[in-house]
């Protein structure tokens, strides 16, 4: 979701005029998401990439133990 939002925001800001410029915006949006994911994983010690949908991922039984522990501290 972050990659899509980042790419859309960058594309709207830069107003690309051709395919190559659009490809650059897509690469920049992906880079924003990659950096954010790596920082989150580094700070939490948990992997956040999953084959599950967001709804499935955040379901009570599917949330990885390391993230469940972190989130339960704040509820």
State the pLDDT at residue 49: 81
Residue 75 pLDDT greater than 60, yes or no: no
Q: Considering only the C-alpha atoms of the chain, give the largest distance between any 2 of them, rounded to a whole number of Å.
A: 48
Measuring CA to CA, which residue among 74, 69, 66 is closest to residue 45? 66
Global pTM value: 0.71
Q: What angle do CA 37, 54, 34 make, to 5 degrees?
A: 15
Which two three-digit tokens encode residue 31? 């880079």
pLDDT tens per residue, range 1-59: 889 999 999 999 999 999 999 999 999 999 999 999 999 999 988 887 877 777 776 67
Tokens 């949330």 belong to residue: 63
Extents of the domains making up the chain? 1-44, 49-75
């Amino acid at each position: 979701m972050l990659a899509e939002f980042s790419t859309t925001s960058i594309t709207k800001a830069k107003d690309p005029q051709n395919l190559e410029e659009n490809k650059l915006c897509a690469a920049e949006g992906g880079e924003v998401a990659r950096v954010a994911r790596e920082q989150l994983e580094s700070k939490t010690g948990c992997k956040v990439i999953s084959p599950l949908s967001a709804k499935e991922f955040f379901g009570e039984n599917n949330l990885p133990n390391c993230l469940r522990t972190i989130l339960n501290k704040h509820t």
